[in-house]
């Protein structure tokens, strides 16, 4: 069974978004997201990023689809013609995963769930979910989208060598990278 990891930055009050954007501007955290979701050991394969419709359209136009990754959008309202030809569209996470598993599995190294709230909730409930890469932002921000509660079956593990350890700080905002595994 093809598994996936989830990656999210979450502030102290569980917020992940405000008005279709991030509530904070942390360049180093965004670089971590980009490097982590692009990183692969086998250069003949690609990583996949799966996101909901609102998350996809919250990405600045000049940055979407996310480069060097297979982009998958989950939506029951969009039509294929609403997205670029190289972006895959599925009505839900399980149908997307089955398509990836049965049609292009040999081309894929890692599948990443990148948002939003509903997709995160569905992903954490799935047997396919392997790890959560959570950036814990150590302060509260005004938010209108929130990260769902993390199920008790996920336990923190030691970070991988590519993940910076300890408290990071940018523009007076402290944050820390955590990895949890089911």
Q: Residue 171 belongs to what domain range?
A: 4-181
What domain count does the chain have? 1
36's enclosing H/E stretch is helix 27-38
pTM of the model: 0.96
Task: Answer yes or no: are the C-beta atoms of 157 and 171 closer than 8 Å.
Answer: no
CB contact at 8 A, 116 and 19 = no
Quick check: 18 and 83 in contact, CB under 8 A? no
- Would you give the distance in Å from CA 3 to the centre of its chain? 14
Q: Catalytic residue positions?
A: 22, 29
pLDDT band at 159 (very low <50, low <70, confident <90, very high): confident
Look at residue 63 in the predicted model and tell me its pLDDT: 95
Q: What is the mean pLDDT of residues 3-25?
A: 97
For residue 166, the tally of other CB atoms under 10 A from its CB is: 7
Average pLDDT of the residues in 44-63: 96
DSSP 98-162: HHHHHHSGGGEEEEEE---HHHHHHHHHSTTEEEEEEEEESS----SEEPPPPPTT-EEEPPPTT
Contact 75, 12 (CB under 8 A): no
Question: Is-contact 105 128, C-beta < 8 A?
Answer: no
pLDDT for 160 beyond 90: no
Give the Å distances, CA to CA, from 5 to 60, 62, 66, 80, 130.
23, 26, 17, 25, 6
Q: At 169, which CATH number?
A: 3.40.430.10
Report the pLDDT averaged over residues 155-167.
93
pLDDT at residue 170, as a whole number: 96
How far apart, in whole angstroms, are the C-alpha atoms of residue 46 and residue 173? Answer: 33
- Residue 131 is predicted with a pLDDT of 98
Residues 104-133 have pLDDT tens digits of 999 999 999 999 999 999 999 999 999 999
């Amino acid at each position: 069974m093809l598994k996936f990891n989830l990656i999210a930055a979450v502030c102290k009050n569980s917020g992940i978004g405000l008005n279709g954007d991030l509530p904070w501007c942390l360049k180093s955290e965004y670089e971590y997201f980009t490097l982590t979701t692009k990183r692969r050991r086998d250069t003949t394969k690609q990583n996949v990023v799966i996101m909901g419709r609102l998350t996809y359209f919250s990405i600045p136009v000049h940055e979407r689809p996310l480069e060097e990754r297979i982009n998958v959008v989950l939506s029951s309202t969009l039509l294929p013609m609403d997205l670029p030809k190289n972006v895959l569209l599925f009505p839900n996470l399980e149908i997307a995963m089955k398509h990836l598993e049965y049609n292009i599995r040999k081309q894929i190294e890692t599948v990443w769930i990148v948002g939003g709230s509903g997709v995160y909730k569905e992903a954490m409930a799935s047997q396919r979910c392997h790890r959560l890469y959570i950036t814990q932002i150590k302060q509260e921000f005004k938010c209108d989208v929130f990260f769902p509660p993390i199920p008790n079956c996920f336990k923190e593990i030691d970070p991988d060598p590519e993940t910076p350890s300890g408290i990071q700080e940018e523009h007076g905002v402290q944050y820390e990278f955590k990895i949890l595994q089911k």
